[in-house]
């Protein structure tokens, strides 16, 4: 594990902690997720390597870096990953729906 990964894990946002608490240890449909997982030059918030699904949680800062996020998503998609983005507010207020959406993407 890189120093950056370690730092990112220790400085997780509250929405990241909430979601991680519900998807870790194969809790979601039996799929294994990794937290702060490096893929190429990027670090995914959450990655399920099989079936190549990446979950990104976006806070306010992402409003200022939309071009970066789009470039990043395109790169990950060229590697065969599906990238799903959720707003932090959705994790706070609609966690069940977020989990249902992720689970549906895993099963497809």
Question: pLDDT tens, 12-67?
Answer: 899 999 999 999 999 999 999 999 999 999 999 999 999 999 999 998 765 567 88
Q: At the topology level of CATH, where does 3-107 sit? A: Endonuclease; Chain A (3.40.960)
Measure the CA–CA gap between 94 and 96, rounded to whole angstroms.
6
Q: What is the DSSP letter of 89?
A: H
Whole-prediction pTM value? 0.87
């Amino acid at each position: 594990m890189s120093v950056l990964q370690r730092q990112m894990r220790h400085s997780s946002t509250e929405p990241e902690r909430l979601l991680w608490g519900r998807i870790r240890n194969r809790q979601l449909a039996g799929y294994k997720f990794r937290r702060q997982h490096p893929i190429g030059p990027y670090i995914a918030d959450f990655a399920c390597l099989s079936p190549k699904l990446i979950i990104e949680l976006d806070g306010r800062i992402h409003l200022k870096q939309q071009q970066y996020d789009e470039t990043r998503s395109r790169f990950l998609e060229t590697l065969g990953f599906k990238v799903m983005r959720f707003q932090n507010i959705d994790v706070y207020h609609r966690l069940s729906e977020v989990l249902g959406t992720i689970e549906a993407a895993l099963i497809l």
